[in-house]
């Protein structure tokens, strides 16, 4: 698809609106929309408290930071560990704290409250399962980039070529093997006088039951990423949602989407809005709220903390 937009600016409906007016305008569009398509990026989970650096990183990955000198979870995820035991020593924690632990705030629930009575759908690059944990209908979700809760073969072939595997049980065993205890809500507890290990036992390193290769995370990082039957079914529901609402008053609500993969959410949302004169584009993002000039008169861009904006709405 070609995008023939003019250079990106910071235009909104009215360059002189203040935040309160923009929030009021977005509230009105939410109320009047026939349908809402939510496009969600990492900024939404960051606003919800799933931060990948700072105090949260230091709490759970201080030992890895001291050993390797990296200061965020994202960077450590790409480190070439010397062994699979240490690879999973890191990744079991990353997966647990970002997939199985409670969400620190109500940001996702506040978003659901705004759209629960609408015909809505969610397109997201997030892999932390926060939408489903917060009550969103799983039949209205399309996780394009994978799921922390799934494994896949590291070199998919044969029966594993289009297959993913639930990982809760093995990740839990890995976490316990490092010395953690797990609280009633999934929180990690360090027992008194316990040194947390950075490796898991060799017998916990997961092997694909279908092709015998090492397991890895079902996260899109190269061409081995597995798009299983569930992925394709969600993609079909997404395309059906777009088809059913073509030409109707649709709100394309983008929240927390940065510039890492704009072709998945941001650029298509701009294009859909341009093509449909009844559509409205909205963007909530701290420091990255903008739109092309061509759709500025049908756009509401709010530069601010997503959680605070949702509360105001």
Q: pLDDT tens-digit profile of 218-244?
A: 999 999 999 999 999 999 999 999 999
141 DSSP β-pair partners: 122
* Chain mean pLDDT for the chain: 93
Q: What are the pLDDT digits (tens) for 178-221? A: 999 999 999 999 999 999 999 999 999 999 999 999 999 999 99
pTM of the model: 0.92
Hey, what domains does the chain have and what are their CATH numbers? 19-46+105-145+229-312 (3.40.50.1220), 51-103+147-219 (no CATH)
Q: At what angle do helices 168-177 and 84-95 cross, to 10 degrees?
A: 110
- Is 70 exceeded by the pLDDT of residue 10? no
Distances (CA, A) of 267 to 1, 67, 120, 223: 10, 40, 19, 22
103 burial (CB, 10 Å; 0-12 / 13-18 / 19+) is middle
Of 165, 164, 151, 174, residue with least CA distance to 90? 174
Residue 17: its pLDDT value, please?
Answer: 62
What count of residues does the chain have? 313
């Amino acid at each position: 698809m070609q995008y023939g937009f003019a250079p990106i600016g910071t235009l909104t409906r009215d360059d002189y609106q203040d935040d309160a007016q923009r929030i009021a305008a977005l509230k009105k569009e939410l109320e009047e929309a026939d349908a809402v398509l939510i496009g969600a990026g990492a900024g939404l989970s960051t606003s919800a408290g799933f931060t990948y650096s700072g105090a949260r990183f230091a709490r759970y990955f201080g030992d890895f930071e001291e050993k390797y000198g990296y200061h965020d979870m994202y960077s450590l995820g790409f480190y070439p560990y010397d062994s699979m035991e240490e690879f999973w020593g890191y990744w079991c924690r990353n997966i647990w704290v970002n997939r199985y632990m409670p969400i620190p705030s109500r940001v996702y629930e506040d978003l659901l409250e705004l759209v629960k009575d609408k015909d809505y759908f969610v397109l997201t690059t997030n892999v932390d399962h926060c939408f489903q944990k917060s009550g969103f209908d799983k039949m209205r979700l399309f996780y394009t980039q994978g799921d922390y809760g799934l494994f896949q073969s590291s070199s998919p072939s044969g029966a594993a070529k289009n297959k993913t595997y639930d990982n809760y049980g093995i990740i839990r065993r890995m976490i316990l093997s490092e010395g953690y205890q797990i609280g009633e809500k999934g929180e990690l507890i360090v027992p008194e006088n316990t040194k947390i290990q950075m490796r898991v036992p060799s017998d916990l390193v997961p092997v694909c039951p279908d092709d015998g290769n090492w397991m890895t995370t079902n996260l899109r990082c190269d061409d081995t990423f597995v798009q299983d039957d569930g992925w394709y079914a969600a993609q079909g529901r997404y395309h059906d949602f777009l088809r059913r609402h073509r030409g109707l008053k649709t709100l394309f609500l983008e929240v927390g989407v940065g510039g890492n993969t704009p072709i998945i959410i941001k650029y298509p949302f701009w294009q859909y809005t341009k093509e449909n004169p009844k559509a409205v584009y909205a963007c909530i993002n701290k420091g990255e709220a903008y739109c092309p000039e061509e759709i500025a008169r049908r756009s509401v861009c709010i530069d601010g903390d997503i959680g605070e904006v949702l509360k105001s709405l």
